[in-house]
Structure 1
Amino acid sequence: MCILTLICSCIAQRSPYKEDIYNRRSNKKKKNDKPNIIVIITDDQDELLGSMHVMPKTLKWMRDQGVHFNNSFVSTPMCCPSRSSFLTGMYTHNHHVYTNNENCSSPYWQANHESRSFATYLSNAGYRTGYFGKYLNEYNGTYIPAGWREWLGLVKNSRFYNYTVNFNGQKMKHEDNYYQDYFTDLIANDSVTFLKRSKQYFPKRPVLMVLSTPAPHGPEDAAPQYQHLFYNNTFHRTPSWNVAPNYDKQYLLKVTGKMEPIEQRFTDVLQQKRLQTLQSVDDLVDKVCNELWMLGELDNTYILYTSDHGYHLGQYGVIKGKALPYDFDTRVPLYMRGPGILPRSKISNMVLNIDIAATILDIAGLEIPDHFDGKSILRLIKAYRDPQNVDSKGFVKTRKPWGDTVLLERGKITGKRYKDMMREQKRTFLENPETRLLYATPKQKRIYKECAKPENQPPCKVNQKYQCIKDPKRKLPRLMKCRPGDETKDLMLNDNGPPCHCKKRRKRRRIARLQRKYLQTQMKTSNLRSSIKRKKRSYINSVDENSVPPVSPIDRRCRVLQNNTVSCDQILYQDADAWKNHKDQLDDMIQEYRKMLEDLRKYRRHLKKEKPRETFLSQFDKNDEFLESVGLPGTSPACKCDTNQTNFNARKEAIKEARKERRKRKRKNKNKKRKRDCNQNDLKCTIHNNNQWKTPPLWNSSYWNLQSGEKLRRRDHPACKRDNMDCSIMDNSHWKTQPYWTNGPFCFCSNSNNNTYWCLRTINSTHDLLYCEFINNFISYYDLTEDPFQLKNAIHDVNYGVPSRSRKAYDYNTTSSAEDAQKKFGNAKAISSDQYFGGRDSDFETKQNLQKFQGSNSISSDDYFGDNSSKNRSYNSGPDLQEIKDGVRQGVTKVAGKISSIASGVMTSLQRKS
């Protein structure tokens, strides 16, 4: 009996252990097959200035146990455009968020793009979604974006203390208590809490979290325990650091000189503070990964670590900033770990920030929408598992070729540039005889079709029924019947050049001035009242008889008889004086009627020239571009029209200068009134002295007095201003946490108003290129295999020895028109730089190569040149400079976002769709 009791007690004691084992196994069975997804995105973190070297915890979890994409870029190196691309998987020219202000979190963005972010698709697929941290620069905190179950969104731009967040619909204000308010730690704590609760209450549902930290963005407030680290760190002093001025680069770098010692010191302190803020991000990554490990979800979770764009600190003499097209601003860190990823992997294929949204949908097992421009990088990860797909440089060869050229863009096209490009696009469009008839009426199409036949060409021949001739009085060709004796050689098509139609200058102002002058001389105040008031029926009497042309009567002394003979009075044959008087009278009448006839002819010519247009040709304005393209009357190139535009522009500039002078005089008069003596009785004045302000900056502080040699202009606030530049001031009160800035104020300029660009970035196993065209038509080209730090603009040194051929042949065989681009790349989801830029071979070989890829889903350099291209092709050959220039001009046309459907074919060739 005792033995039985002992056995029962042992069973009772062991039952909890068995139940625990059963529960663990049952929990594993209950786990959802879909993996969890966590994205950690920093703000302004660089890849090339050494920021990742000071984050050992992140490197342990992400690099040592995952894959590093060492050629990861952002399409637009600015906060709000890049984050909008990250959320939607679209290029900037597609979601239309060009800057950190315009359209950033606007009603248009909310209605058209925010509801189509990757969070919406995953939320509908059963994921529990949560967003923690900075969202968009202009987010006002009044709503929760669609697709997010848990929401902790920062209102406005990055802050570490004294900020406001929208926490699940309620605005909460935080102050400057580190233990309660430090934003990076708040993101870590709230995200871990959401993760634990989700796995506790919803174990079958996967989790999607985005952790958007403010570090290392300004104001660079580090946690107190890290404020002593990285003193005199010089990772940011790359070979391009303080290389200035750069006369071979764009305007901003041309006018930026070498940094002064105080500015060099500032870059060192800023680098120190940036690295300090990243230590809290390093702790965040470690905390999240440890929590996943404790929950047993680490092996079932994909974690991505990246940044919205890079940064520069003294590169090319620019003290700090972003938004430049060079690698230190466009290249970002990208690490990924999760199921099926080999530890310490390294993939060199190009990856963009627009690929992250497509990758998240692919991880969740969802179909990637058509409006996504990015493609899933899981293809590269899966192909990397086979060592045969990886070359010695880490480039992975996939079954569907991966594109090696991406688009980098910043800003949008101005209205004037847009009109110029549309005019050029229309001219190119009309040069194609197949497309210029798209706007013609059926009758006009029939006429053009008949005129194109060789049997209808003038002059008329035997048995020829019709001839197509050009009438100088008409703008369209005329199809006329052939009749015996017709002489149409002078009317043959293209025999005579088109008449000259010079554009008239506007004369409204001159006419109005002459009218005023006439009225001033003719009208007097004395007779003004009498001229206004008149008696009834007094109009006839008030008409000036001299204003009516004189009509001199004449005696009909000569007549024309029926037999066409002239008979005059006998006195004209007998009296010489009578004959002379009558002859003089006839001469006067002839002169008068000749003048009248000439006036009538002028009226008729004017009416013919100003005849209203009733056909489709009216849409081409008065430039007659369509008529020139079809060989019809337009403005002949040989015409020399003296428009006197120089004088007109000079007068216009003189008027502007006069207005400026008047404004200056008004301002001076106002300032003189303000500076009157305060002792005057008729004025109420106060004296402002150094004792007026009790808090810094004081009135006598150096904060208000910059050196005169800098030639700065001030208005109402102590910020430095320079023409066409975005400048600001740095002083001792800028940073509120240690280490402080104590070296005094200075002014620096970080951007210019013409720093809008469109670039093509190419990286593959043989090429590493950057080609850019700026809004002011400045062009730059860098070969990073020879110049890895982009120190020299090699646009004038390009000499690739491309076979010479005419521009017309190039336009026909490459992407010179939207129609050709649509035919060649319309179905392609990825293109290579070699394919886009045109031929390295002869025209015939290029055409043969292009025909191979019609209908294919993607094009790569290897497929275009063959598997043995590296052996058979000389690497000194390359795209012609003119071809590159024209190619990117096509790209500039299509990234405007407003270009008509004609340019959509070129757009398709650059967008990288999966």
Structure 2
Amino acid sequence: MMFGIIAYVVIFLLLQQVLANRPNIVLIVTDDQDAELGSMKTMHRTRQIMKEGSEFSHAYVSTPMCCPSRSSFLTGMYVHNHNVYTNNDNCTGTEWRQIHEKKTFATYLQDVANYRTSYIGKYLNKYLGNYTPPGWDNWMGLYKNSKFYNYKVRRNGSLVHYGSEESDYFTDVIKRETISFIKDSVRNSNKQPFLAVAAVPAPHGPEDAAERHRHMFANNTDHHTAAWNYAPNPDKQWILQYVGKMKPIQKSFTNTLQRKRLQTLQSVDELVKEIYDTLVQLNILDETYIIYTSDHGYHLGQFGLLKGKAMPYEFDIRVPFYIRGPGVPTNSIFEDIIVNEDIAPTLLDIGGVETPSGMDGRSILHLFAKAKAKANYIKKDGRNAVKRKNGWRHTILIERGKLTDKNRGLRDKLEAKKNLYLSKKERKKVVCKRLEYNGPCTTNRGFRCVKDQFGELTVERCPNFSEISNCLLRKCKKHKLINKRLLRIIRTNVRDFKRIVNETNSQAFKENQEKFQKKLMAMAKTCNCNRKRRKTRSIRPKRRIECDEKGMKCFEHDREHWKTEPLWKIRTRRSSRIRQHRKRKRKLPRRQHPSCTVTGVECHYMDNKHWTTAPFWNRN
């Protein structure tokens, strides 16, 4: 007995030591930062720090939009699996909160690896600050989309408003709060490892830079890449076929926006440097991973597209990605293809947690172990470049942010075709697994799956309880099958049933609900309630009326009966609608002249009546 207790204590102490020796993690995520337009060239502090680690030159995002991309790096799943297709649909919606938000890398690191977790900054575009997502010990999430001044955040259970003072600049607030969390974790957590996520809003709009940076980059044109203002492109995607060259005012706008975006990133550069210095001061730099990346890229005039993202081109899907920490090669460039779905499995691998089967990404840590052999290194711009003949990944999936009607129809056809190979019983089983057919009948459920007398599944319509109750009151009272007291009980039960349905979903209520439903159905059968629709009593348009019927009188009319001749007999009168239609019909061939279809040309047809003064060419 004593030996078993001692063994248990030893195992417990060893487990605590293993958990305590796990490395810390700092994840810095920017918003809309590109890898093609030269944004990293101006972040000298960040590039200098990340030279102590490795850069991935082919880092991509599967869906270049804010909410889908952020949902992917949180869960490690592609968009078609977590169903956050746009910045609106299901962005912090019911499905996200009930299913996928409970399976982020934070929940696994907190529950399995005993990490102390913190999220500070922008979360998801439709986050309303009305709850704290699971998995985070310290939470400071931005209300809705990116802002730099005059914003509000949910801070550990309450909404906090920030104003327009220089100290309220959001990137600086994120910096202060992240450093405070790191210091508190080291001093008070008894060597518990921590995960700190700093999700900065820069360089996303409204591109408000801090006062100290608003004079910088006046003449920067790094966004003038080879594809800048390269339009039109008849051999490219349909939208690029119709986009023309930019006007001078549009070119000036791209230059201004580039300058403002770079200015906002200077505060992020300071954030990285101060977090790095804090780790050095606390003597935990060697046991901490630092990852720097963005949720997606950006374009400014590329192929004539003025500004934005969501396009399947390098400038929108390729992002900067840097990592430094224990076991990461220094001053190295990896040319392996990685995607944002790899972030969650990588963080779990750092924390010693096995990657769940539901995640689509893969951990990148084992790439570093394979790269340590000197034979894998080649020199590139004075740095060690890791290039393998047989890469770990050759293709990635780039998904559109919205399922088109064409693809949705194709998906439905494929699913229907797939079900054709099943037997009738198997098809019914597939149908009955759907959520809308499971469970007992309620006031909001139209159909349910039940077993018939032969034990086979079948779909039947749920009874409408209001119809049954009205039928009971009508039929049973008419045939005097129940007394007034029972009628009063039925009325009370139906009224209470409707009220309680919207108030509770407890197991006890469901049991009472089923009993009450059975009681109503039994009474309905006794009263022979027929829920079929009553036939309309209106006369059909072509129904012949017999004049011999009782109470029916018939009259015959000729043309002289009408005081005014019908309008369709008057040939000389034309309605305004007919005149307009004929006039439009005469003009249509002229408007369809080939010269009027040229882009930027508008055709107007005028005669002598149009001019106040007759044209010179008609004076003679």
TM over 0.5: yes
Indicate the TM-score class for this superposition, using the shorter chain for normalisation.
Answer: 0.5 to 0.7
For the structure 1 residues 531 and 290, does the alpha-carbon distance in structure 2 shift closer, same or farther, using more than 3 Å as the test?
farther
Q: Secondary structure at the match of 1:209?
A: strand
Write the distance in 2 (CA, Å) between the matches of 1:254 and 1:30: 59
Partner of 2:152: 164
Deviation at 1:423, TM superposition (A): 3.2
Match of 2:161 among 173, 177, 189: 173
| CA distances 1:636-687 after superposition (whole Å, capped 9, x unpaired) | xxxxxxxxxxxxxxxxxxxxxx9xx99xxxxxxxxxxxxxxxxxxxxxxxxx
Q: Tell which structure's C-alpha radius of gyration is larger.
A: 1
Q: What amino acid maps onto 1:145 in structure 2?
A: P
For the structure 1 residues 419 and 530, does the alpha-carbon distance in structure 2 shift closer, same or farther, using more than 3 Å as the test?
same
Please tell me whether residue 423 in structure 1 is matched to residue 399 in structure 2: no
Match of 2:189 among 202, 212, 215: 202
Please tell me whether residue 126 in structure 1 is matched to residue 114 in structure 2: yes
Q: How does 1:443-842 map to 2 (within 5 A)?
A: 516=541, 530=547, 533=550
8 Å CA contact 1:155–1:166 kept in 2: the answer is: yes
Partner of 2:229: 242
8 Å CA contact 1:311–1:320 kept in 2: the answer is: yes
List gaps (5 residues or longer) in structure 1. Answer: 1-28, 431-435, 443-514, 536-657, 663-708, 712-914
Q: Secondary structure at the match of 2:322?
A: strand
| CA distances 1:595-628 after superposition (whole Å, capped 9, x unpaired) | xxxxxxxxxxxxxxxxxxxxxxxxxxxxxxxxxx
Please tell me whether residue 410 in structure 1 is matched to residue 394 in structure 2: no
Deviation at 1:140, TM superposition (A): 0.5
| CA distances 1:161-216 after superposition (whole Å, capped 9, x unpaired) | 0101001111011110012x100000000110111111111141011010000000
Deviation at 1:388, TM superposition (A): 2.8
User: Which stretch of structure 1 is more off in the superposition, 255-264 or 33-42?
Assistant: 255-264
Please tell me whether residue 297 in structure 1 is matched to residue 281 in structure 2: no
Write the distance in 2 (CA, Å) between the matches of 1:102 and 1:333: 27
8 Å CA contact 2:150–2:163 kept in 1: the answer is: yes
8 Å CA contact 1:46–1:309 kept in 2: the answer is: yes
Q: Secondary structure at the match of 1:185?
A: helix
Deviation at 1:341, TM superposition (A): 1.5
| CA distances 1:544-588 after superposition (whole Å, capped 9, x unpaired) | xxxxxxxxxxxxxxxxxxxxxxxxxxxxxxxxxxxxxxxxxxxxx
Write the distance in 2 (CA, Å) between the matches of 1:102 and 1:190: 31
Partner of 1:439: 423
Q: Secondary structure at the match of 1:172?
A: strand
Partner of 1:58: 46
Match of 1:329 among 308, 316, 324: 316
Partner of 2:27: 39
Write the distance in 2 (CA, Å) between the matches of 1:316 and 1:127: 46
Q: What amino acid maps onto 1:171 in structure 2?
A: L
8 Å CA contact 2:86–2:402 kept in 1: the answer is: no
| CA distances 1:447-478 after superposition (whole Å, capped 9, x unpaired) | xxxxxxxxxxxxxxxxxxxxxxxxxxxxxxxx
Q: Secondary structure at the match of 2:354?
A: coil
Partner of 2:36: 48
8 Å CA contact 2:25–2:195 kept in 1: the answer is: yes
Q: Secondary structure at the match of 1:166?
A: strand
Q: Secondary structure at the match of 2:397?
A: strand
For the structure 1 residues 173 and 414, does the alpha-carbon distance in structure 2 shift closer, same or farther, using more than 3 Å as the test?
same
Q: Secondary structure at the match of 2:399?
A: strand
Deviation at 1:437, TM superposition (A): 6.0
Write the distance in 2 (CA, Å) between the matches of 1:426 and 1:116: 31
Partner of 2:63: 76
Write the distance in 2 (CA, Å) between the matches of 1:30 and 1:360: 17
Write the distance in 2 (CA, Å) between the matches of 1:114 and 1:54: 35
8 Å CA contact 2:70–2:124 kept in 1: the answer is: yes
Partner of 2:482: none
Deviation at 1:297, TM superposition (A): 0.6
Task: Give me the TM-score of the superposition, normalised by structure 2.
Answer: 0.65
Write the distance in 1 (CA, Å) between the matches of 2:35 and 2:131: 34
For the structure 1 residues 391 and 407, does the alpha-carbon distance in structure 2 shift closer, same or farther, using more than 3 Å as the test?
farther
8 Å CA contact 1:30–1:203 kept in 2: the answer is: no
8 Å CA contact 2:26–2:290 kept in 1: the answer is: yes
Q: Secondary structure at the match of 1:153?
A: strand
Partner of 1:252: 239
For the structure 1 residues 248 and 533, does the alpha-carbon distance in structure 2 shift closer, same or farther, using more than 3 Å as the test?
farther
List gaps (5 residues or longer) in structure 2. Answer: 1-16, 427-539, 553-576, 582-599, 603-620
Deviation at 1:387, TM superposition (A): 2.2
8 Å CA contact 2:65–2:401 kept in 1: the answer is: no
Q: What amino acid maps onto 1:119 in structure 2?
A: A
For the structure 1 residues 202 and 327, does the alpha-carbon distance in structure 2 shift closer, same or farther, using more than 3 Å as the test?
same
Deviation at 1:116, TM superposition (A): 0.4
| CA distances 1:26-63 after superposition (whole Å, capped 9, x unpaired) | xxx9993100000000000000100000000000111x
| Higher RCO, Cα 8 Å, sep 6+ | 2
Q: Secondary structure at the match of 2:174?
A: helix
Q: What amino acid maps onto 1:423 in structure 2?
A: K
Q: Secondary structure at the match of 2:121?
A: strand
Partner of 1:363: 350
For the structure 1 residues 416 and 347, does the alpha-carbon distance in structure 2 shift closer, same or farther, using more than 3 Å as the test?
closer
Partner of 1:354: 341
Match of 2:296 among 302, 309, 315: 309
Write the distance in 2 (CA, Å) between the matches of 1:233 and 1:99: 32
Q: What amino acid maps onto 1:214 in structure 2?
A: P
Please tell me whether residue 221 in structure 1 is matched to residue 208 in structure 2: yes
Deviation at 1:342, TM superposition (A): 2.0
Q: Secondary structure at the match of 1:408?
A: coil
For the structure 1 residues 61 and 530, does the alpha-carbon distance in structure 2 shift closer, same or farther, using more than 3 Å as the test?
same
8 Å CA contact 1:31–1:204 kept in 2: the answer is: no
Task: Give me the TM-score of the superposition, normalised by structure 1.
Answer: 0.44
Write the distance in 1 (CA, Å) between the matches of 2:74 and 2:146: 18
| CA distances 1:371-402 after superposition (whole Å, capped 9, x unpaired) | 0100000011111111234567845559x961
| CA distances 1:496-525 after superposition (whole Å, capped 9, x unpaired) | xxxxxxxxxxxxxxxxxxx85x66xxx7xx
Write the distance in 2 (CA, Å) between the matches of 1:278 and 1:710: 43
Partner of 2:476: none
Write the distance in 1 (CA, Å) between the matches of 2:186 and 2:155: 21
Please tell me whether residue 212 in structure 1 is matched to residue 199 in structure 2: yes
Write the distance in 2 (CA, Å) between the matches of 1:314 and 1:364: 42
8 Å CA contact 1:380–1:396 kept in 2: the answer is: no
Match of 2:259 among 249, 254, 272: 272
For the structure 1 residues 118 and 327, does the alpha-carbon distance in structure 2 shift closer, same or farther, using more than 3 Å as the test?
same
Q: What amino acid maps onto 2:89 in structure 1?
A: E
8 Å CA contact 1:127–1:207 kept in 2: the answer is: yes
Q: Secondary structure at the match of 1:192?
A: helix
Write the distance in 2 (CA, Å) between the matches of 1:247 and 1:416: 23
For the structure 1 residues 212 and 412, does the alpha-carbon distance in structure 2 shift closer, same or farther, using more than 3 Å as the test?
same
Write the distance in 1 (CA, Å) between the matches of 2:265 and 2:144: 21
User: Across the two proteins, how many residue pairs are aligned to each other?
Assistant: 425
Q: What amino acid maps onto 2:148 in structure 1?
A: F
Write the distance in 1 (CA, Å) between the matches of 2:170 and 2:395: 38
